[in-house]
Chain A
Amino acid sequence: MNFLAPTFLLAVGAIALPVVIHLLSKTRVQRVRWAASRFLAAALQRNRRRLQLEDLLLLLLRCLIIAALAFAFARPVLPGGGFNFGSREATTAVLVIDHTASMCQSAGAETRFSQAKVAGRRLLEQLPSGSSAALFLAASHTVRAVPQPTLDLALVRRTLEAAKPSAENGDLFSGIKEAAELLHPLQGRRDVFVLTDNQSAAWRLREKIQALRDEFRETINLHVIPVGEQPEPNLAIVRLGIGSSVPAVGQPVRCEIEVKNFGAATAENIRLTLAVNQDAPLDETLLTRIEPGATATVALFATFATAGHHTLTATIPSDALAIDNQRALAVLAVDQLRALIIEGTPPVSATYRDGFFVANALAPVSAVETTRFYLRPSLATSAALDAATLAGTDLVVLANIPRLDTAASVALRTYIESGGALIVFPGPATDPDFYNTDPTFSALLPARLGSLSAPAQGGMLVSQGYTHPVSALWNDREMGDLGGVRLERFFPLTPLNPAVERGGTLLRLNDGTPVALTHQVGRGGVALFSTSATTEWSNLPVHSAFIPLIHRLVAHLTQRTDGALTLAPGDVFSLPVAVELTGKDFSVQRPGDTLGRRIAGRIEAAGETARLTFADTDTPGGYALFTGAESRPLVTFAVQVDPSESDLTSASLDTASPASDLKSPASNLNSTALAGPSRELWPWIAAFVFLLALFESALAHRFSREK
Chain B
Amino acid sequence: MSDPQSSSLLDADAVSRGEALGLLARTVVEGYRVGEHRSPFKGFAIEFAQHREYTTGDDLRHLDWKILGRTDRHYIKQYEQDTNFVAHLLLDGSESMNYGSGSVSKLQYAKALAACLAHLVLVQRDAVALNLFDTEVRERLARTDNPGRIHHIMDRLAAFQATQKTAIASALGDLARQLKARGIVILISDLMAEDDEALATGLRQLRFGGSEVIVFHVLDPHEIEFPFTGTVEFEGLEGEPLIETQPASIRKSYLEAFTTWQRSVRSACDRAGCHYVLANTSHSLAETLSSYLAFRRKTTAR
**Contact residues of A with B, CB < 8 Å?**
25-26, 28-44, 46-47, 51, 54, 703-704, 706-707
Q: Judge whether B106 is part of the interface by a CB distance below 8 angstroms.
A: yes
Given contacts A29-B232, A30-B232, A32-B235, contact A46 B253 (CB under 8 A): yes
A33 to chain B, nearest CB (A): 5
In the complex, are the beta carbons of A31 and B240 less than 8 A apart? Answer: no
Neighbouring A residues of B252 by C-beta, 8 Å: 706-707
Instruction: Report the separation of the CA atoms of residues A130 and B132 in the bound assembly, to the nearest whole angstrom.
Output: 83
User: Of all chain A residues, which has the CB nearest B245?
Assistant: A44
Partner of A25, one of B231, B238, B249, B255: B231
Q: Judge whether B243 is part of the interface by a CB distance below 8 angstroms.
A: yes
Q: How many residues of B contact A (CB 8 A)?
A: 37
In the complex, are the beta carbons of B250 and A34 less than 8 A apart? Answer: no
Neighbouring A residues of B238 by C-beta, 8 Å: 35, 37
In the complex, are the beta carbons of A36 and B192 less than 8 A apart? Answer: yes
Instruction: Report the separation of the CA atoms of residues A32 and B245 in the bound assembly, to the nearest whole angstrom.
Output: 11
Q: Judge whether B68 is part of the interface by a CB distance below 8 angstroms.
A: no
Neighbouring A residues of B254 by C-beta, 8 Å: 39-40, 42-43
User: Of all chain B residues, which has the CB nearest A25?
Assistant: B231
Given contacts A37-B243, A38-B192, A706-B252, contact A30 B233 (CB under 8 A): yes
User: Of all chain B residues, which has the CB nearest A22?
Assistant: B231
Instruction: Report the separation of the CA atoms of residues A184 and B239 in the bound assembly, to the nearest whole angstrom.
Output: 82
Neighbouring B residues of A46 by C-beta, 8 Å: 250, 253
Given contacts A39-B261, A42-B257, A43-B250, contact A34 B99 (CB under 8 A): yes
Neighbouring B residues of A32 by C-beta, 8 Å: 228, 232-235
Q: Judge whether B278 is part of the interface by a CB distance below 8 angstroms.
A: no
Given contacts A32-B235, A40-B245, 15 further A-B contacts (CB under 8 A): A25-B231, A32-B228, A32-B232, A33-B99, A33-B235, A35-B236, A37-B237, A37-B243, A43-B250, A47-B253, A703-B249, A706-B248, A706-B249, A707-B250, A707-B251
**Contact sample, A vs B, 18 pairs, CB 8 Å cutoff:** A29-B230, A29-B231, A30-B228, A30-B232, A31-B232, A31-B235, A33-B237, A34-B99, A35-B96, A36-B96, A37-B240, A38-B194, A40-B250, A42-B253, A44-B250, A704-B248, A704-B249, A707-B250
In the complex, are the beta carbons of B249 and A47 less than 8 A apart? Answer: yes
Instruction: Report the separation of the CA atoms of residues A40 and B228 in the bound assembly, to the nearest whole angstrom.
Output: 12
Given contacts A35-B106, A39-B257, A47-B249, contact A28 B231 (CB under 8 A): yes
User: Of all chain B residues, which has the CB nearest A41?
Assistant: B243
* Binary interface encoding of chain B residues 260-290 relative to chain A, with 1 for a CB under 8 A from any of its CBs, else 0: 0100000000000000000000000000000
Neighbouring A residues of B240 by C-beta, 8 Å: 37-38, 41
B257 to chain A, nearest CB (A): 4
User: Of all chain B residues, which has the CB nearest A36?
Assistant: B223
Given contacts A34-B99, A47-B250, A707-B251, contact A40 B234 (CB under 8 A): yes
Neighbouring B residues of A37 by C-beta, 8 Å: 234, 236-238, 240, 243
A702 to chain B, nearest CB (A): 11
Neighbouring B residues of A39 by C-beta, 8 Å: 254, 257-258, 261
In the complex, are the beta carbons of A28 and B230 less than 8 A apart? Answer: yes
Neighbouring A residues of B250 by C-beta, 8 Å: 40, 43-44, 46-47, 51, 707
In the complex, are the beta carbons of A44 and B192 less than 8 A apart? Answer: no
In the complex, are the beta carbons of B234 and A51 less than 8 A apart? Answer: no
Instruction: Report the separation of the CA atoms of residues A31 and B192 in the bound assembly, to the nearest whole angstrom.
Output: 21
Instruction: Report the separation of the CA atoms of residues A25 and B230 in the bound assembly, to the nearest whole angstrom.
Output: 9
B281 to chain A, nearest CB (A): 12
Partner of A44, one of B99, B190, B243, B248: B243
Neighbouring B residues of A43 by C-beta, 8 Å: 250, 253-254, 256-257
Partner of A707, one of B98, B223, B234, B249: B249
**Contact residues of B with A, CB < 8 Å?**
96-99, 106, 190, 192, 194, 220, 223, 228, 230-238, 240, 243-246, 248-258, 261
The 4 closest A-B pairs by CB, nearest first: A43-B253, A35-B99, A37-B236, A37-B240
In the complex, are the beta carbons of B230 and A707 less than 8 A apart? Answer: no
In the complex, are the beta carbons of A29 and B233 less than 8 A apart? Answer: yes
User: Of all chain B residues, which has the CB nearest A26?
Assistant: B231
In the complex, are the beta carbons of A35 and B192 less than 8 A apart? Answer: yes
In the complex, are the beta carbons of B258 and A36 less than 8 A apart? Answer: yes
Given contacts A38-B240, A44-B243, contact A31 B253 (CB under 8 A): no
In the complex, are the beta carbons of A34 and B234 less than 8 A apart? Answer: yes
A252 to chain B, nearest CB (A): 97
Instruction: Report the separation of the CA atoms of residues A268 and B223 in the bound assembly, to the nearest whole angstrom.
Output: 97
Instruction: Report the separation of the CA atoms of residues A551 and B293 in the bound assembly, to the nearest whole angstrom.
Output: 138
Neighbouring B residues of A42 by C-beta, 8 Å: 253-254, 257
Instruction: Report the separation of the CA atoms of residues A40 and B106 in the bound assembly, to the nearest whole angstrom.
Output: 18
Neighbouring B residues of A706 by C-beta, 8 Å: 248-249, 251-252, 255
Neighbouring A residues of B245 by C-beta, 8 Å: 40, 44, 51
In the complex, are the beta carbons of A35 and B253 less than 8 A apart? Answer: no
User: Of all chain B residues, which has the CB nearest A50?
Assistant: B249
Neighbouring A residues of B220 by C-beta, 8 Å: 35
A205 to chain B, nearest CB (A): 77
Instruction: Report the separation of the CA atoms of residues A40 and B236 in the bound assembly, to the nearest whole angstrom.
Output: 10
User: Of all chain A residues, which has the CB nearest B97?
Assistant: A35
In the complex, are the beta carbons of B231 and A707 less than 8 A apart? Answer: no
B130 to chain A, nearest CB (A): 23
B73 to chain A, nearest CB (A): 63
Neighbouring A residues of B98 by C-beta, 8 Å: 33, 35
Instruction: Report the separation of the CA atoms of residues A54 and B246 in the bound assembly, to the nearest whole angstrom.
Output: 12
| Most B-side CB within 10 Å, residue of A32, A47, A51, A704 | A32
A229 to chain B, nearest CB (A): 64
Given contacts A707-B249, A707-B250, contact A31 B257 (CB under 8 A): no
Neighbouring A residues of B235 by C-beta, 8 Å: 31-34
| Most A-side CB within 10 Å, residue of B190, B233, B234, B256 | B234
Neighbouring A residues of B99 by C-beta, 8 Å: 33-36
Instruction: Report the separation of the CA atoms of residues A678 and B5 in the bound assembly, to the nearest whole angstrom.
Output: 84
User: Of all chain A residues, which has the CB nearest B256?
Assistant: A43
Partner of B230, one of A30, A33, A34: A30
Neighbouring B residues of A704 by C-beta, 8 Å: 248-249
Neighbouring A residues of B237 by C-beta, 8 Å: 33-35, 37
User: Of all chain B residues, which has the CB nearest A54?
Assistant: B249
| Most B-side CB within 10 Å, residue of A33, A34, A37, A703 | A34
Neighbouring B residues of A31 by C-beta, 8 Å: 232-233, 235
Instruction: Report the separation of the CA atoms of residues A38 and B106 in the bound assembly, to the nearest whole angstrom.
Output: 17
Partner of A35, one of B190, B231, B233, B255: B190
Instruction: Report the separation of the CA atoms of residues A36 and B243 in the bound assembly, to the nearest whole angstrom.
Output: 11
A303 to chain B, nearest CB (A): 93
User: Of all chain B residues, which has the CB nearest A31?
Assistant: B233
Instruction: Report the separation of the CA atoms of residues A164 and B70 in the bound assembly, to the nearest whole angstrom.
Output: 142
Neighbouring B residues of A25 by C-beta, 8 Å: 231
A282 to chain B, nearest CB (A): 88
B142 to chain A, nearest CB (A): 31
A532 to chain B, nearest CB (A): 119
| Most B-side CB within 10 Å, residue of A29, A40, A44, A706 | A40
Instruction: Report the separation of the CA atoms of residues A707 and B247 in the bound assembly, to the nearest whole angstrom.
Output: 9
Instruction: Report the separation of the CA atoms of residues A365 and B286 in the bound assembly, to the nearest whole angstrom.
Output: 137
Neighbouring B residues of A54 by C-beta, 8 Å: 249
Instruction: Report the separation of the CA atoms of residues A706 and B250 in the bound assembly, to the nearest whole angstrom.
Output: 6
Instruction: Report the separation of the CA atoms of residues A81 and B274 in the bound assembly, to the nearest whole angstrom.
Output: 87
Instruction: Report the separation of the CA atoms of residues A39 and B261 in the bound assembly, to the nearest whole angstrom.
Output: 9
B115 to chain A, nearest CB (A): 22
Neighbouring B residues of A29 by C-beta, 8 Å: 230-233, 244
User: Of all chain B residues, which has the CB nearest A51?
Assistant: B249
| Most B-side CB within 10 Å, residue of A29, A43, A51 | A43
Neighbouring A residues of B96 by C-beta, 8 Å: 35-36
A659 to chain B, nearest CB (A): 70
Instruction: Report the separation of the CA atoms of residues A29 and B250 in the bound assembly, to the nearest whole angstrom.
Output: 16
Neighbouring A residues of B261 by C-beta, 8 Å: 39
Neighbouring B residues of A41 by C-beta, 8 Å: 240, 243
B160 to chain A, nearest CB (A): 17
A49 to chain B, nearest CB (A): 12
Neighbouring B residues of A35 by C-beta, 8 Å: 96-99, 106, 190, 192, 220, 223, 236-238
Instruction: Report the separation of the CA atoms of residues A502 and B234 in the bound assembly, to the nearest whole angstrom.
Output: 110
